[in-house]
Amino acid sequence: MNKRLYPDKYSGRYFILTQLRKINEQIVDEIIQYKTDLIDYGCGSAPYRDIYLKKVRRYDNSDFENNVHANIQLNKLGIIPADNSLYDYVLSTQVLEHVENVDLYLNESYRVLKKGGLLILSTHGYWKYHPDPEDYWRWTKVGLIKTLEKAGFKVEKTYGIMGLAASGLQLFQDAISRNKNRVFKSILFRIINFLQHISDNRSFDYNDAAVYLIIAKK
């Protein structure tokens, strides 16, 4: 089972990963068109591939050479070896905070999109430091919008996932669980998951959020 899509209830990321799955399912239901082409830019393990494959005909995984999940290898700068205007969608999930050269990344996203194509991009507002291999950035919603507009995109839709109370609980959990044993963590994570569930109304419209997801058009 894909644990990023369906995390264990004793996982320290259960609530946010469940919300991210639901928002991606909503996007596929409401926005993605059938028989279209998508590239997952900085795919990692491509956790949302199965969701998007319900509609797209082509799903390309792109990442650096050490990623066994990638069928397209980026060069050392992160440039995509693909023609201009090739894809209907660029999917970028929790990648941008790890990108050293944000301008290059967004310019590449813009370049490979067809005219009218969509960038589906999520990244962090509130989150702990998590290098992979490095962790550079955090955004506010308006700051992320300005960053995308600077790259030439027209923002179509914005989402804020996991509000201030649940985000605060997440940060508290991560702060006090360091170097604790497995039993302590399992109990703590279950308690925090419960508190996040009752303190968060599962809205996708928070201005203060752990994750922002933006749909932007070329």
Q: How far apart are CA 12 and CA 184, in angstroms?
A: 12
Collapsing DSSP to helix, strand or coil, 151 comes out as coil
The answer to whether the CB of 60 falls within 8 A of the CB of 49 is no
Please compute, for residue 172, the number of CA atoms within 13 A of its CA located in the half-sphere on the CB side. Answer: 13
Q: pTM for the whole thing?
A: 0.96
Collapsing DSSP to helix, strand or coil, 216 comes out as strand
pLDDT digits (tens, 9 = 90+) for 113-130: 999 999 999 999 999 999
pLDDT digits (tens, 9 = 90+) for 76-117: 999 999 999 999 999 999 999 999 999 999 999 999 999 999
Which band of pLDDT confidence, cut at 50, 70 and 90, is reported for residue 164?
A: very high
- Residue 17: per-residue pLDDT: 97
- Entry field: residues in the chain: 218
Map out the domains of the chain with their CATH numbers.
Answer: 14-217 (3.40.50.150)
